[in-house]
Structure 1
Amino acid sequence: MVISLEALPLIAVIAGLYGLRYLGEERRLLPWFLLSLTVFSIFLSLATRPYSELLGPWCDVLRPEHMTAFGLATLMAGIGPFLPYQQHAAGRLAALVLIPLASLPAAFVLLGQCATNPMAALDPVLLEWWHGYITEGLPFWKQPVSVAVMLIWVIIPIGAGYWLAARGGAFAEGAGVRWLMLFVLAVSTWAYSLYLMRAGVFAQMLAVPFAAVLLALLVPQARAIGEMLPRVAATLGCFVLATPMFVTALAKPLDPLLPTATMARGAAAPIASEICEFEKLSGLPAGMVFITMDDAPQLLGITDHTVIAASYHRNQTPMIDVIKAFTSAPDDARAIIDAYDPDYVVACFSASDFALYRTADPGNFANILASDGPPVWLTPVAGFTDGALRIYRVR
């Protein structure tokens, strides 16, 4: 959660599961969980982030306001076991109700717009031309077909594994409640991954125990089939059920046939298929490079050049300037580029973000560069006048 605030809903699910255990007379787990959440959210945040970020305008980071809400929840959970009537389910339910009554209003009041929109501090230009095209942060209906199928398929090993084990009495004595909690967490995480693709990593990890149960119960039955072809088919079927790997591979050819809106927009302008070899820039004197953001980290990593911006949204102004330069008319682009006084302007015709910028306007800076007719204020660098990688000196 300190790395990515998007894990907060999963923390809420776990707290809810411990709340159900509290309702069922297990009163120790919830207070200790909330106490550890409060203490370590503070410790890890202070250990890994500068104070300026914790106290800044950013909504997509664990903030002091979150920690305050955790603290209030911990306080209420700690008081709960000492309230009257805790020997009755109604009394325990009343104690549980105090937790959200104290913590949620405080969270919404203190966090303001950050309570409902973790990207509230993101500039509209970045929302339109950058954040909306990061597929790992998008729901399944905006993913390529193969990715959408992968996300959906994960529920099969989770559901089938739990159902087979519960039906066959495979759970160890006394472990049924723990398996049920794991099942609810896995299903909740799977549902969340349909809305946020990168949560699929958590969903797939939580699916592993259920996939293992599925294979342990079904593979021996498949291997016991007498005839070879049905035995092989049944064995392969077990592994198809247990992992989304096969179904997503089969769906991969459908991706270009059924492009999503993000895929279609990025592919609207013809681009080169040749990979840009940025290591060739190592032969040029080191300098500041004005380049699209997706390729900037690679350029930094393999050369001595520096860049204006990469895809790190704490650095919003340079990111916006890069986008505006490539999507604007050449004269407007020059005004933006001159403000940074770069040594080189670099265009990679096979880059997806360069292709996206070309869709903004037929006469914009990106399209002028792609037309082999750069503006007069750019001088092509020898050795980079053809192919996918073009480099220019700024006059």
Structure 2
Amino acid sequence: MNDTKGTPALPPALAAELDRHWIRLTLIAWIVVAIFYVWQRWSAIHWLSLGDTDDNMRLMQVRALLGGQGWYDLRNYRLNPPGGFDIHWSRIVDLPIAALILLLRPFVGNAEAEKLACGIAPLIPLAATLLGIGATVRRLVAPTAWPLAIVFMMGSTVALLMFMPDRIDHHGWQLAMLSLTVAGLCDPRGPRGGAMVGLASAVSLTIGLEMLPYCAMAGAIIALRWVWDAAERQRLLTYALALGGGCAAGFAIFASEANRVMRCDALTPIWLSVFVAAGALLALLAMVSPPRRGVRLALAVAAGAIIVTGFALLFPQCLGRPEQVSDELYNNWLGNVREAKPIYRHPLRVGLPLMALPTMGLIGALIATWRARREPSALGWACVTLFAVFAMAMLLWQVRAGPAAQVLAIPGVTALGWLILPWLLGHRSLFVRVFGTVAVFIAISGLFAGLALKWFPIDRPKPYVQRVNRATGRCLTLPAMDPLNRLPRQTIFTFVDLGPRLIALTHHNAIAGPYHRNGDAILDVQHAFKRSPAEARAIMKRHGATLMLVCPNMAESTVYRDRAPGGFYDRLAHGETFDWLQSVPMPKGSPLRLYRIR
């Protein structure tokens, strides 16, 4: 499809400039976007509005590194002190945040440097994402189609949120690696494309295993390309070497001490052996590369069977839950995480905007694949279409696949826009040129879903949900937490979802955060709030807590109040007092309630 059919009428000089300097112009566009979002969200940056628990823990991990904690020691000692707990992340994502803090600290001081770093760092992977998307659409749609792809990316709903200021966790970097993976799959230069896919997959897997299914899909697509065409052997070979070598290097440089044991939730020796073995087998296939397609298919299937069978026989503990948590913890917590539920288990106000862009992207990819069926770009479009179908299927497993599905939709919607919009813009009717173009753009971009929910009373959130969201938001703010710093440093017993924010904004310690390696402490918090007051006090004392902090109507509090009637928190929420719990005054209007544990 990479031709001039449907191409907007651009002056030749402008088209040549867009083609020749696309990388430079993309980076200029990224700088403009970054400045805009920093300006737009300056208030959030100023108040260090790290809304997700993972963002707060990421900041704590960076602080520990800059404070002298060992490179391979990722234990957080301020949750569940004095022993703390290990987290399964790596330090890759810490590096740009730490570098920005070190760069800015001499000019604005440490506190302001942290705020600015948290505001700027998430926008860095957006540059790589835009470059990956631009490379893909240049190869498959047209050399000058990349500006349209940027426009569609800026209209995504959940994908763009992963790059917003203060969203400092790893999701933006993994989306960037995904966009580079797709660009590598579509690269007409096989060795370069294979190396890009392998390295991007290795970086993503070193960061975390969330994108493992997509990395596996990319490897399967490269293997299928080789099965279809033996000339793809160089792509397969460089991919295999980059994947195995990249994962080995990632493990050696970034794997924490706690990840050098046989666990299933990160790049540990288990997964390292899988990726290195997969790389070795695929490299062997590429070097042998028999001329007959049927033989190549048989060898690829055999290699896949060896990897899967070996994994099942050698590491049976990883066939179930990779987090390896207890049944109680899974039933009470992990199995109820909203983002881990399939999209059809979510309300329409969540599912419709999330699905709109991937749906249009899949339609566009299918049309583009059909139109390119006799052209050199057909194989690249087949890769994009397979990935788009896979992303849609992933949404039926977990809604957290939404950002990846939206990024993967951009090439398809760009092709669709490149096909339809020029015809509308060139129409004789002014009405069609203006209103038709706007309507089609809204439809193709998926923005129609958000507008429909705004204009029509479809699945509006209930007042109860709105009240919970307001309470949660207020309790997590810096003004709400800051008065706690007037008290001497001590261990505070609080909700699991409040723990990371508490240690990020105050000098106090907490008991638990929503991380599976912190499972025993999570259960202790749940047991304390759900069971009898006597058991609650015993658990708090066992953890050395001297204060208890709660946020009435916070989402987590409703679990203890509504699902454990007669339990400690339910009785506390209904106004009952206890002789071992003394109220500590907080500023007027504070959403938090603080108690001293006797």
Q: TM-score, normalised by structure 2?
A: 0.59
Deviation digits for residues 19-62 of structure 1 (CA, Å, limit 9, x no counterpart):
22111212222232222222212221332222332314x32223
Deviation digits for residues 352-376 of structure 1 (CA, Å, limit 9, x no counterpart):
1111121222211111221222321
Structure 2 CA distance for aligned equivalents of residues 114 and 268 of structure 1:
40
Q: Tell me which protein shows more helix as a share of its residues.
A: 2
Q: How does 1:152-191 map to 2 (within 5 A)?
A: 152-166=355-369, 173-191=375-393
Residue 45 in 1 paired to residue 251 in 2? yes
Give the secondary structure class of the aligned counterpart of 1:308.
Answer: coil
Match of 2:405 in 1: 203
Structure 1 CA distance for aligned equivalents of residues 344 and 500 of structure 2:
29
Deviation digits for residues 224-267 of structure 1 (CA, Å, limit 9, x no counterpart):
4455555544223322333334404533754446x8xxx99x89
Identity percentage over the alignment? 27
Unaligned runs of 5+ in 1: none
Q: How does 1:1-395 map to 2 (within 5 A)?
A: 1-23=205-227, 24-25=229-230, 26-56=232-262, 58-81=263-286, 83=288, 86-119=290-323, 121-166=324-369, 173-227=375-429, 229-248=431-450, 250-251=452-453, 254-256=458-460, 275-276=474-475, 277-383=480-586, 388-395=591-598
Is the CA contact 1:274–1:388 (under 8 Å) kept in the aligned structure 2?
no
TM-aligned CA distance change 1:42 to 1:359, over 3 Å: farther
The structure with higher relative contact order (CA 8 Å, sep 6+) is 2
Deviation digits for residues 323-354 of structure 1 (CA, Å, limit 9, x no counterpart):
11111121111111111121210110131111
Structure 2 CA distance for aligned equivalents of residues 363 and 139 of structure 1:
33
Structure 1 CA distance for aligned equivalents of residues 250 and 446 of structure 2:
34
TM-aligned CA distance change 1:334 to 1:183, over 3 Å: same
Deviation digits for residues 99-155 of structure 1 (CA, Å, limit 9, x no counterpart):
123211111111203134323x11233212322332222211222322211333233
TM-aligned CA distance change 1:318 to 1:60, over 3 Å: same
Is the CA contact 2:264–2:270 (under 8 Å) kept in the aligned structure 1?
no
Is the CA contact 2:244–2:280 (under 8 Å) kept in the aligned structure 1?
no
TM-aligned CA distance change 1:172 to 1:296, over 3 Å: farther
TM-aligned CA distance change 1:248 to 1:129, over 3 Å: farther
1:391 Cα deviation (Å)? 0.5
1:377 Cα deviation (Å)? 0.6
The residue type paired with residue 335 of structure 2 is G
TM-aligned CA distance change 1:197 to 1:387, over 3 Å: same
Deviation digits for residues 254-302 of structure 1 (CA, Å, limit 9, x no counterpart):
4446x8xxx99x8999996882222222232322110001122222122
Structure 1 CA distance for aligned equivalents of residues 468 and 402 of structure 2:
31
Is the CA contact 1:147–1:248 (under 8 Å) kept in the aligned structure 2?
no
Equivalent residue pairs, number? 386
TM-aligned CA distance change 1:283 to 1:82, over 3 Å: closer
Structure 1 CA distance for aligned equivalents of residues 595 and 587 of structure 2:
8
TM-aligned CA distance change 1:15 to 1:269, over 3 Å: closer
Q: TM-score, normalised by structure 1?
A: 0.87
Structure 2 CA distance for aligned equivalents of residues 82 and 393 of structure 1:
69
Structure 2 CA distance for aligned equivalents of residues 323 and 123 of structure 1:
14
Is the CA contact 2:247–2:276 (under 8 Å) kept in the aligned structure 1?
no
Q: CA RMSD in A?
A: 3.0
Deviation digits for residues 301-336 of structure 1 (CA, Å, limit 9, x no counterpart):
221111111112222221111111111121111111
Is the CA contact 1:151–1:193 (under 8 Å) kept in the aligned structure 2?
no
Give the secondary structure class of the aligned counterpart of 1:342.
Answer: coil
Give the secondary structure class of the aligned counterpart of 1:300.
Answer: helix
1:173 Cα deviation (Å)? 5.0
Give the secondary structure class of the aligned counterpart of 1:27.
Answer: helix
Is the CA contact 2:469–2:554 (under 8 Å) kept in the aligned structure 1?
no
Structure 1 CA distance for aligned equivalents of residues 586 and 295 of structure 2:
78
Structure 1 CA distance for aligned equivalents of residues 375 and 389 of structure 2:
23
The residue type paired with residue 186 of structure 1 is A
The residue type paired with residue 596 of structure 2 is R
The residue type paired with residue 183 of structure 1 is T
Structure 2 CA distance for aligned equivalents of residues 250 and 225 of structure 1:
27
Is the CA contact 1:76–1:98 (under 8 Å) kept in the aligned structure 2?
no
Give the secondary structure class of the aligned counterpart of 2:548.
Answer: strand
Match of 2:185 in 1: none
Unaligned runs of 5+ in 2: 1-204
Is the CA contact 2:467–2:553 (under 8 Å) kept in the aligned structure 1?
no
The residue type paired with residue 327 of structure 2 is P
Structure 1 CA distance for aligned equivalents of residues 291 and 389 of structure 2:
31
